[in-house]
Chains A and B, each alone.
Chain A
Amino acid sequence: MQNVAHTRYKEFSRAFRQAPWRVQTQWIATLAAVAVAIIALAGMYLSEASRAATAGRDVQSLQAAKADLQLAIDRQRVQIADARSLTRLETRARELGYVPAEIAQVEYLLVPGYPGMQLAASPTAPAASDAVPDYNESLGSWLAQTLSALMRPGG
């Protein structure tokens, strides 16, 4: 009696046990999912890292370009100042036939409302809004921004 029951239990179990190929498929699927997740994460990391490196390289290039431009600006300022030097201007004026004005050659006129020669205006600094803001985006804020952009109708 006991043997009969045991035999029936084994038959019952065999009938309802998953087929080996199913178990294997489930394992493979799970492992594949994990692998895909890891690859996706690694890919995302690599992508972000490469973009950050590219951006860093761009920043380095721009910094170098800025330094070169500053040197060029300095050089051009010097060249302009040299071209405007009094010695040069006086020589050029004499070459063109000009001579220093004598008192008798100067005629003074009264111009109503003219306040006289004003002192040089000081150059103004760029407005504060022109300045580049600090980069302060976090991963969380980037994700939130991206998700909201995706969920926006028509986005």
Chain B
Amino acid sequence: MSETLQGRLRLLLVIFSVLTGLIVIRLISLQFGSSVSFFEAQYELASSYPVKIIPPRGRIFDRNGELLATNDVQYALGLSPNFVTDPEGMAKVLAAMLDRPVEELAAITRPAPAGVDAAKYVPIQKPVSAEIGEKLLAMQRDPKGPDLNGLIIEPFQTRTYPGGTLAANVLGFVSYDGKGYYGVEEFYNEILSGHPVVGIKQVVPFDVALNPAPDQGADLYLTIDRDIQFLAQETLANALQLYGGESGSITIMDPKTGRILAMAVSPTYDPNNFLTEPEANRANPAVSAQFEPGSTFKIITMASALQSGTVRPETTYFDTGYIEVGGVGIANWNGGAWGTQDMTGVLQHSLNVGTAWVSTHMGPQKFYDHLTAFGMGQATNIDLSGEAAGMLSRPGDSNWYESNLGTNAFGQGVAVTPIQLLAAASAVANGGAMMQPHVLERVSDGGVVHTTRPQVLGRPISADTANTLSAMLAVSLEREASNALLPGYRLAGKTGTAQIPIPGGYDYYKTIATFIGWGPADDPRFIVLIKLDKPTASMWGSETAAPTFGEMVKRLVVLMKIPPDNVRQALAASGQ
């Protein structure tokens, strides 16, 4: 080997050694130098990102385990314009699937004009049904399918209500941000939604680690009975059609426990399509709408008078058809005079004069103390969102006048919600104990079951008073041969026809027709409040709400497996 060649090789060796040394030095500086944190941050940024892990929302069942609300999948469609390779073809496919004009979609899928930066993401439609989303996904994955490059199909969890409008106003709905609105969904949102956690999504498989598991949302079992709810909604719809009512509600409760078995309101809505339904229909007027109860309130007045010892069932008064209280004249519903009447007669004929006579004999102190004990002017605290407290003016309030003592006695000048009136009347049906109305039967949280115990809301009257009044109401129904009666079953109840307050007085042509009834009278299993707003076929509760009650109870006793009184008593006797 010549010396020249050796020299050149040595030179090359030196150059490569120097270069290798430089690379090694650079590698060492990168590995251990001051830029380590920068490169680590870059790596973290590129290889992982935080993700919010949202647990599935708890489901809602009725008392028998029938599903009322559950989770479903829908899709959000979007576009990554830089990745679209066949904008016209994609627009045609989407137009056919989404039932939208091709031109409208082509305007979205077409590439941005030259010189304009395309957006990274363009939304197309949200929500898209699971069926369409899955079909599009299948097309996208199919190598022989249409070119859908750039189409982003993302699933997301949604709430679905298999019964549609069934118990919609009790359930409420969940918006796309996962928050519950109205009803149970809002009231128990914290329990249903669980607790999301933030985890790390690792792109590099080498770094994959298990993320913390979020707290799952708990399942709720309601006191609502799906079959009874269906019956109540069907009965209400039929009644409103038959009597030309504008709106209404039917609430059914177990008076011994306060369990709400059904709560039907009209107009209602389908929570699956909450965005397109009228917003006014989302609330639950059975707990949020206040109204002047009219004659059904006479149950509360008479219970108060019996409890305070002011009257007894056989107490009589002479009805002249007119009484003046605080300078305001009060007449009966038909303007007539009914002569000598006992207290059962007052209830049977629904005499305004009689109840005003009773309240004035009680005096304001006793009368309003008893109304307060019945929960008037106070929310029942039922576990549904949006409950109103009603309104009751007491002596000393700026809006209380002496005449209120007379008018309040037959349900004028006092505002209640249907649930408030029902809870108060349930004290009469339940031996004097007013139970806390509630819709939650139990919570199933990860296998641990918490059951709601019935609670006594108050004892405004004694058992004797309750039983006496219940018997009086049963007799008054029977004497009236009310349309609410059901052969074979002894029922107790009271009709109501409330005038609607308008500025300057009352509307004399539109009424709120109501009926409160319970049965069997000796061992009540249900208490029902029927409320029909502005019926046109007849303004009277006895001709609209009472027959609605009778029609419904006919099927309710079958659903609740309540035998006729004679059969029940015979079975009870043979079982002992």
Contacts and interface: CB of A to CB of B under 8 A. Distances in A.
Interface of A: 49, 52-57, 59-60, 70-71, 74-75, 77-78, 80-82, 84-87, 100-103, 106, 108, 110, 112, 117, 119-126, 134-135
A122 B202 CA distance: 37
B554 interface: yes
Given A71-B155, A100-B555, A134-B210, A81 B202 contact: no
B206 A78 contact: no
Contacts of A119: 63-65, 221, 441
Interface in B129-168: 130, 155, 157, 160, 162-164, 166
Given A56-B208, A75-B130, A108-B563, A120 B63 contact: yes
B285 to A, nearest CB: 23
B460 to A, nearest CB: 30
B202 A56 contact: yes
A71 B574 contact: no
Given A120-B63, A120-B64, A135 B219 contact: no
B390 interface: no
B253 to A, nearest CB: 17
Nearest first, the 9 closest Cβ-Cβ pairs linking A and B are A120-B65, A125-B447, A56-B205, A81-B162, A56-B208, A122-B444, A57-B205, A108-B563, A81-B67
A77 B160 CA distance: 10
Nearest to B56: A70
Contact of B207 (A56, A75, A87): A56
A14 to B, nearest CB: 30
Contacts of B202: 56, 60
Contacts of B70: 74, 77-78, 81
B65 A74 contact: no
Nearest to A81: B162
Nearest to A102: B558
Contacts of A125: 446-448
B66 interface: yes
A71 B208 CA distance: 23
Nearest to B564: A103
Given A84-B67, A84-B162, A108-B561, 4 more contacts: A55-B208, A86-B227, A103-B488, A119-B63
25 contacts: A53-B204, A53-B205, A54-B205, A56-B202, A60-B208, A70-B56, A71-B73, A74-B70, A75-B73, A77-B70, A81-B70, A84-B67, A86-B163, A102-B554, A103-B554, A106-B558, A108-B567, A110-B571, A110-B575, A119-B63, A120-B65, A120-B66, A122-B442, A123-B219, A123-B444
Given A75-B73, A81-B70, A52 B554 contact: no
A85 B66 CA distance: 9
Contacts of A85: 162-164, 166
Contacts of B163: 85-86
B162 A120 contact: no
Contacts of A120: 61, 63-66, 221
Contacts, number: 109
A101 to B, nearest CB: 5
B464 interface: no
Interface string B214-230: 00000101000011001
Interface in B429-485: 441-442, 444, 446-449
Contacts of A126: 447
Of B163, B166, B207, which is in contact with the most chain A CB atoms at under 10 Å from its CB? B163
A108 B567 CA distance: 8
Nearest to A59: B208
Contact of A122 (B56, B221, B571): B221
Residue of A84, A108, A112, A124 most packed against chain B (CB within 10 A):
A108
A52 B61 CA distance: 44
A126 B213 CA distance: 15
A122 B563 contact: no
Residue of B67, B166, B221, B446 most packed against chain A (CB within 10 A): B67
Contacts of A117: 561
Contacts of A80: 67
B124 interface: no
Interface in B517-565: 554-555, 557-558, 561, 563-564
A60 B446 CA distance: 26
Contact of B210 (A84, A102, A135): A135
Contact of A56 (B162, B164, B206): B206
B360 to A, nearest CB: 44
Contacts of B160: 78
B118 to A, nearest CB: 29
B475 to A, nearest CB: 23
A98 to B, nearest CB: 13
B71 interface: yes
A91 to B, nearest CB: 13
B65 A78 contact: no
B444 A74 contact: no
Contact of A110 (B157, B164, B564, B574): B574
A97 B537 CA distance: 34
A102 B61 CA distance: 28
Contacts of B575: 110, 112
A116 to B, nearest CB: 8
Contacts of B277: none
Nearest to A105: B558
A135 B227 CA distance: 49
A101 B564 CA distance: 14
B571 A53 contact: no
A120 B219 CA distance: 13
Contacts of B369: none
Contacts of A103: 488, 554, 557-558, 564
A39 B558 CA distance: 84
